[in-house]
């Protein structure tokens, strides 16, 4: 069903519509080049239908390896972008760009074995060198804050990774509802939450005070988003949408205030109405665990 986009600059649009969460943000460097690797594999696929069964099997195998290499490379670029954006981060568990380069090189080698084994090896080696030159290596060590011990760094990294999973689940859920305005609204909340993540990464001592927000409340927000997306996708009830929007407003206001409190180190004056926020989520039917 066609849907009117009610953006700020659309005809009759709402000037109070949510702003994009990443307005002005730069695209991920290298992702376009990684996508071109998928196109580079297509000529190999076309050669699969010009020979016998052995030639077809060889070409399809080479094509699969090259596609795998392109996919791993793109995933590695995304993982590095997330790593670079954080002050404290653990290195990716799987060096996807390195594995992607190896898979691509193997695909090129297999695709060129029809001339000679030496040619296949040389072409594969050249492909690997070019790949590493174009995309570089994956991060191979954890990123730590200066003057912070490894234990504290690891605690913060784990907490932020868990929080990021909740945010990703929120966005996936809201996309299933098919409402672009609400998708933008969730992305706006994500930007607010990530501002707190950066604050905690800059000063890991803030983790104890912010742990409820990174864990309990984002878990509640995720569950509320999943619940809303299912209901709203069924009947487009404006009251359901208004209730969910009000919940996001409350969450965002509390996250913003808490983050400001962390920045000013004013923990005594503002532990941001934890009970109020908990009650607000529970009114939405979200049961939260006790404690941090």
Whole-angstrom CA distances from 266 to 35, 206, 217, 257, 272 are 47, 11, 21, 11, 11
Counted residue by residue, the chain has a size of 292
Asked whether residue 17 is assigned to any structural domain, the reply reads: no
User: Region 57-67: what's the mean pLDDT?
Assistant: 92
Q: What is the largest CA-CA distance in the chain?
A: 77
Distance separating alpha carbons of residues 141 and 48, to the nearest angstrom: 41
Same domain for 125 and 165?
no
Same domain for 126 and 196?
no
CA proximity to 69, closest of 31, 104, 44, 28: 104
Distance separating alpha carbons of residues 235 and 124, to the nearest angstrom: 55
Which of 135, 160, 185 is at the close of a domain? 135
Asked whether residue 288 is assigned to any structural domain, the reply reads: no
Same domain for 119 and 176?
no
Say if residue 190's pLDDT is above 80: yes
CB 173 within 8 A of CB 111: no
Count how many domains the chain has. Answer: 2
Same domain for 127 and 165?
no
Distance separating alpha carbons of residues 151 and 118, to the nearest angstrom: 49
Same domain for 271 and 166?
yes
Average pLDDT along the chain: 81
CA proximity to 203, closest of 261, 255, 253, 257: 261
Band (pLDDT 50/70/90 cuts) for residue 23 is very low
Residue range 96-152, pLDDT digits in tens:
999 999 999 999 999 888 778 898 999 999 999 999 999 999 988 877 766 566 777
Asked whether residue 271 is assigned to any structural domain, the reply reads: yes
Same domain for 164 and 259?
yes
Three-class SS state of 14: coil
Q: Provide the residue range defining the domain that includes 168.
A: 150-283
User: Region 249-254: what's the mean pLDDT?
Assistant: 91
């Amino acid at each position: 069903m066609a849907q009117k986009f009610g953006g700020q600059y659309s005809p009759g649009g709402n000037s109070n519509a949510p702003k994009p969460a990443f307005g002005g943000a730069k695209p991920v460097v290298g992702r376009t080049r990684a996508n071109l690797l998928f196109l580079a594999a297509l000529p190999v696929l076309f050669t699969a239908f010009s020979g016998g069964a052995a030639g077809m099997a060889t070409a399809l195998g080479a094509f699969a390896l090259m596609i795998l290499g392109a996919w791993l490379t793109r995933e590695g670029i995304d993982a590095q972008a997330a790593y670079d954006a954080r002050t404290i981060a653990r290195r990716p568990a799987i060096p996807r760009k390195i594995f992607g380069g190896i898979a691509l090189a193997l695909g090129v080698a297999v695709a060129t074995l029809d001339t000679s084994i030496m040619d296949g090896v040389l072409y594969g080696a050249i492909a690997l060198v070019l790949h590493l030159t174009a995309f570089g290596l994956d991060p191979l060590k954890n990123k730590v804050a200066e003057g912070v011990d490894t234990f504290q760094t690891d605690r913060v990294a784990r907490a932020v990774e868990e929080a990021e999973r909740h945010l990703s689940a929120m966005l996936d859920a809201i996309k299933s509802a098919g409402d672009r305005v609400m998708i933008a609204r969730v992305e706006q909340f994500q930007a607010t939450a990530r501002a707190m993540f950066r604050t905690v990464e800059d000063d890991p001592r803030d983790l104890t005070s912010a742990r409820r927000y990174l864990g309990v409340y984002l878990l509640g927000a995720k569950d509320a988003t999943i619940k809303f997306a299912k209901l709203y996708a069924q009947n487009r009830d404006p009251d359901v949408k208004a209730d969910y929007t009000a919940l996001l407003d409350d969450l965002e206001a509390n996250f913003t205030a808490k983050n400001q409190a962390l920045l000013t180190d004013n923990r005594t004056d503002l532990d941001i109405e934890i009970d109020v926020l908990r009650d607000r989520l529970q009114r939405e039917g979200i049961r939260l665990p006790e404690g941090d």
